[in-house]
Amino acid sequence: MDAETMVMSLILLMLFFPFCTSVDTLTPDQTIKDGQSLISNKNNFALGFFSPGNSSYRYLGIWFVKVANQTIVWVANRNDPIIDSSGVLSINPYGNLVLYDSSNRLLWSTNVSVQGTTSSVAQLQDSGNLVLVRGNNEKVIWQSFDHPTDTLLPGMRLGLNRITGLDRFLTSWKSQDDPGTGNYFYRMNPIGSPQVGLYKGSTLYWRSSPWPWPTSSSAATSSSSLKHYFVNNEDEVAYTYFFDDAYIISRVVLHNSGLLQLLMWNDGDLQWKESWSAPKYRCDNYRHCGAYGKCGPESASFNSFECTCLPGYVPKSAKNWYHRDGSDGCVRKQLGLSMCGNGEGFVKVELLRGPDSYNAVWMDMSMSSSECEQACLRNCSCTAFVSINIDGKGTRCLAWYGELNDISESSYERWDLNVRVDATELATYTRKSNGFLGHKRQLAITIISLMVTLFLVCLIAYICLLNKRKTSPSKKEEEEENKRTVKRKLHNQSLFFTGTMGYFEGNELEENSRHPDLLIFDLSCIVAATDNFSPINKLGQGGFGSVFKGQLSNGQQVAVKRLSNSSGQGMEEFKNEVMLIAKLQHRNLVKLFGCCIQGEEKMLIYEYMPNKSLDFFIFGLGTMDKR
């Protein structure tokens, strides 16, 4: 190989090498220009220059390598774009990362104080975190995870460092084409019991439940679990999330529309899939039902009003409430009555997302629910409390002082909130609770009574069956009876009689089933006795039909049970019932005078009881059949 060829090969190698390198580290003697990049060790993330959407401006940022569509997770110079491709990233003599353009204008810097003369090194980690470390002891002096833009990655902490004052929060892009700082923020509120919220400017429009949160939840895939890590101590209040499956690619992003989403990458269709988002329902909107109002359920139909007041409270504006606007909230029913030392107590409201906790205070660890209640009662400003177990470490008491805001039903958080009410309201809820228990007790008694009655009926039927078998006819008599039965089925099912009263004819009932004292009434007789079933004579009504008071031509008062066509009882069943009741006549039972069967009409004629039935005096209420 001649000298000219060697020189050309070296020149080509020098030109080609910066574009092909996949190193994850930037040293003081190196630079990254537009078109070059750092690649993390496992090829998870890349650091380089990009243009968002339809913009021609250039930005320094970090994105996923294994995602088909370039997805930016962090931007350095988000508010100072480069107008061309002249950007250069390097480490200056003071050990800071710096970004310049062709005009030698400083667009971005890590801007940390590096003590000593030891040089710094920048490294892009597989978590997506760009770190700046000191050369000898590799102490991290700056990291991109402490300065997020619109994206939260697994392992990235969101919250406040109480010692340094560093506040890590998300801010939306201005638009899809502009990664500049937008109008929406997602940040931790450390006041009271910590909670994170979504803000438009300084206005809160959605918040999470107060700490503690559930430690895990179902993710979009059944093969993994999403977990939260929360720390709240004198040094820091922050949280992060991660998946058990390290191969899951995920991100939490705050869109320029104000929507917060947990997204997971699907390799099958090469798309981001939503696993969770907020706000999603009407009840997610902050103070949707105002102070002391409760919103629910989470998926409430748009045809129903989702707001109700907490126990002891009524709508502040009945007019607005009627027009389905609950933003004014609720006020106490007894405004002039003090709720301090006047026999007040608590009513439990279950399965809620905890109220806004800016005015909440945690009490001592290992405080039981009853101790928590007494502590709240001793303070006149305490309006509610919850007793909750924190990670199996003991039960603690969280108490609210002042207004209760932004309460909604939840199938996920499942907080049980004990709301303070006055003595009158407490007595009302106590009666309701006792009434509910009494109703359950009465229901149990009714079920037992029905079971006993059913048993007795079955026992009587069994005894009758045994008696019938003992007196069964011979085979020849049985054949004759079968012939008579066929004739009876072909005969008109109605019973016809001559005169006002009579006895069953042999061709209508079994010879051995007749009862000598059972009268058969003609329909015209019953019509005349009840004044054509006049509503004035109606005594009651049940599932079988109606009961009418009547007076026969001989002056005898009777009660006529008129079976409705919808009762489900056929002719044969009715005849069997008539004969069974006739055989069970007893001086302590209401007397059955007879029956009437004509056409579709089936009626039982009982003795009339002017002083009502025994159940009226036992249970204190009348029966439907007042015979």
Give residue-wise pLDDT tens across range 409-454.
887 777 899 999 998 888 888 776 555 445 556 666 778 878 888 8
Is the model's pLDDT at 627 over the cut of 70? no
List 251's β-bridge partners, or say none. 263
Residue 624: per-residue pLDDT? 42
Which two structure tokens, joined as six digits, stand for 465?
């069956």
528-579 pLDDT, tens digit per residue, is 899 888 888 888 887 678 899 998 888 888 999 888 776 666 677 777 777 7
According to DSSP, residue 406 is labeled S
Burial 485-513 (b: 16+ CB within 10 A, else e): eeeeeeeeeebebeebeeebeeebbeeee
User: What integer pLDDT is reported at residue 301 of this predicted model?
Assistant: 53
Q: How far apart are CA 572 and CA 578, in angstroms?
A: 10
Q: What is the pLDDT of residue 482?
A: 55
Q: What's the whole-number average pLDDT of the chain?
A: 82
Query: Does residue 66 surpass a pLDDT of 80?
Result: yes
What is the model's pLDDT at position 160?
97
* CB neighbour list of residue 574: distance below 8 Å, 6 or more residues apart: 563, 595, 597, 602
Does 18 have pLDDT greater than 50? no
Q: What contacts 70, CB < 8 A, 6 or more positions away?
A: 50, 63, 64
Q: Tell me which of 600 and 346 has the higher pLDDT.
A: 346
Residue 328 has pLDDT above 70, yes or no: yes
* Contacts with 363 (C-beta within 8 Å, 6 or more apart), sequence order: 372, 375, 396, 397, 398, 399
Is 623's pLDDT higher than 90?
no
What pLDDT does 456 receive? 83
Average pLDDT value for residue range 210-238: 71
Annotate 67-81 with b (16+ C-beta within 10 A) or e (fewer): beeebbbbbbbbeeb
The model's pLDDT over 26-55, given as tens digits with 9 standing for 90+, comes to 999 999 999 999 999 999 999 999 999 999
Note the pLDDT tens digit of each residue in 343-392.
Answer: 889 999 998 888 999 999 988 767 888 999 999 999 999 999 998 877 66
Q: Which of 106-110, 133-137, 197-201, 280-284 is predicted least confidently?
A: 133-137
Q: What tokens does 324 get?
A: 């389905």
With bands split at pLDDT 50, 70 and 90, how would you rate the model's confidence at 462?
confident
* All domains in the chain, ordered by first residue: 18-144 (2.90.10.10), 284-421 (no CATH), 492-619 (3.30.200.20)
For tokens 């007749």, name the residue: 514
Is 470 annotated as belonging to a binding site? no
